Amino acid sequence: MARLLLGVSGGIAAYKSLEFVRLAIKAGHVVRVIQTPTSERFVGKASFEALTGAPVLISEFERDPARGAFPDQTPPDHEPISHLQLVRNADLMIVAPASANTIAKLATGVADSLLCTAALAAPCPVAIAPAMNNQMFLNPATQANLATLRERGITVLDPDTGQLGSKGEWGVGRLREPSELLSACEQLLARGVPQPMDGLNVLVTAGGTREPIDSVRYIGNRSSGRMGFALASEALHRGANVTVIAANVALPRSPHVTYVDVETAAQLQAASQEKFPSCDLLLMAAAVADYRPSDVADTKIKKEQRTLALSLERTDDVLTSLALQRIPGQTVVGFAAEHGDGLEAARIKLARKDLDAIIVNDISRQDIGFDSEANEVIFVSAAGESLIPRATKAEIAAAILDLVLQLRSAPTAYASGSTLST
Ligand code: CTP
């Protein structure tokens, strides 16, 4: 549990800060919010007050009914200066969204709002999550301000590229997803505190391989890499050194993870062979092609014939060959996408591939899996099965790692049939 002070500045992305607060509280943190007057034009303070259960402050001269205390604290007898007391009590201050204007003020030390004064006085770590139009973000003035803030030890949670708030606009400047902001905050808070996966080398494969047919076409699959990236992010958050072998994944990346990009099953195999010997835990979440075209045309195949037959050959089973090479202390976890109830098939794969655990999900369901933010899986090991009910991929990743850690500490100790509470 941590005390998070959220500063909200003006921008359409302010609505996402409500979700950030909801997730932070759900994760057990306590939150206080301060807003700039402009942000009130986008989101009213009543919403933040309802979620946090604490007053929201906007002006420096406003009396704080909670006297700078967080919801878990008893307010002091005296009336402290709000901005000083709030930052003193906070474990971390995050400004999300951070507008171009607020970033400029923070970089130059302007203290004309409660948010800016609080940031200037903060003894705790400060993170900012910029969100704005792409031209504003890429403007040298904004970039110089961000560079200044980075130099001064402020963590900048860079925005994503994609659809922007204003209709029809696209580019870099989207506020990072609230769940990612929370996990970045938790990583900052975790620095220096012993973590359950400290020093553990975790290798994750993610995404889906593509097998070329000719110079422009390939046989691929629908895996987005979201589950693998969620596992990587959770392992990182728990202190692990994380390497991700990413097969065609177009998702935001962490500066604290090592990525090896691959396209084909053969490239994934070569990269996995190289990285596997130094890992303690392999999470094989990638969808690896089982077949590839036997002959790849050097140029683009012309549509000269009415039908076209492709001859396919089997690829190697990467996971099986890695599991065969494992030494004591290495844990090998596979994933199986099965149509319908795949439990029996998963048990068979667990034995056939000689795995420590296999995680199975039902790809016939539309509400989970491919391209979805959600998943529902069954964790299968020699000790039994655990259903991890439908939840976000970040929550599923956390539950999977809990079970993997239990497996590593006592291979047959965890109870069969336990469930994740959501
Ligand atoms: N896998 C692998 N190499 C392959 C195919 C699969 O390493 N060529 C890995 C996947 O990354 C996954 C696990 O094996 O972790 C299970 O994949 P799956 O395709 O479900 O298993 P298969 O043994 O290929 O069984 P099926 O007959 O159902 O395709």
* Same-domain check for residues 142 and 226: no
* Same-domain check for residues 247 and 138: no
* Same-domain check for residues 206 and 150: no
* Same-domain check for residues 243 and 372: yes
| Of 101, 145, 221, 248, catalytic | 221
* Same-domain check for residues 215 and 153: no
Domain interval for residue 159: 3-190
Domain containing residue 409: CATH number? 3.40.50.10300
Pocket test residue of 244, 288, 320, 363 for ligand 1, highest count of atoms within 8 A of CB: 288
Domain boundary among 190, 224, 245: 190
- Nearest-CA residue for ligand 1 atom 20 is 336
* Same-domain check for residues 183 and 285: no
Domain containing residue 49: CATH number? 3.40.50.1950
Phi and psi at residue 128, to the nearest 5°: -130, 145
One-letter amino acid at 345 equals A
* Same-domain check for residues 251 and 399: yes
* Same-domain check for residues 169 and 213: no
Pocket test residue of 268, 290, 314 for ligand 1, highest count of atoms within 8 A of CB: 290
Sign of the CA dihedral running 193, 199, 200, 206: positive
Q: Which residues line ligand 1 (CB under 6 A)?
A: 265, 284, 286, 288, 290, 315, 317-319, 334-337, 349
How does DSSP assign 379-418, residue by residue?
A: EEETTEEEEEEEEEHHHHHHHHHHHHHHHHHSTTTSPTT-
Q: What is the largest CA-CA distance in the chain?
A: 86
Q: Work out the number of other CB atoms within 10 angstroms of the CB of residue 214.
A: 15
Please give the Cα distance from 312 to 375 (Å, whole number): 31
* Same-domain check for residues 173 and 207: no
* Same-domain check for residues 293 and 349: yes
Does residue 196 sit within a domain?
no
pLDDT of residue 411: 57
Summarize pLDDT for 90-109 with one digit per residue, the tens. Answer: 999 999 999 999 999 999 99
* Same-domain check for residues 179 and 245: no
Active site residue 221: yes
Task: Give me the residue label for tokens 């390497």.
Answer: 243
**Beta-ladder partners of 384:** 381
Sign of the CA dihedral running 98, 99, 104, 109: negative
Residue 295, Cα to own-chain centre: how many angstroms?
A: 38
How does DSSP assign 53-97, residue by residue?
A: SS--B-STTS--TTTT--TTSPPPSS---HHHHHHHH-SEEEEEE
Between the CA of 317 and the centroid of ligand 1 the distance, in Å, is 7
Residues in the chain predicted with pLDDT less than 70, given as ranges, are 411-422
Does residue 421 sit within a domain?
no
Does residue 319 sit within a domain?
yes
* Same-domain check for residues 251 and 366: yes
Domain boundary among 190, 220, 240: 190
Total domain count for the chain? 2
Contacts of 136 (CB under 8 A, 6+ apart): 100, 142, 173
